[in-house]
Amino acid sequence: MCDGFMSYGAPHWVYEQKQAASDRAHTDYEKKLQERISELEKENAELKKRIAKMENAFLIAMDLLMKK
pLDDT class of 26 with cuts at 50, 70, 90: very high
SS3 5: strand
Query: Could you tell me the pTM of the whole model?
Result: 0.65
Q: Is 1 exposed, middle or buried (0-12, 13-18, 19+ CB in 10 A)?
A: exposed
Rounded average pLDDT over 28-44? 98
**Taking the domains of the chain in order of start, what are their residue ranges?**
1-68
How far apart are the C-alpha atoms of 5 and 11, rounded to whole Å?
4
- Start-to-end CA distance of the chain, whole Å, equals 92
pLDDT class of 9 with cuts at 50, 70, 90: confident
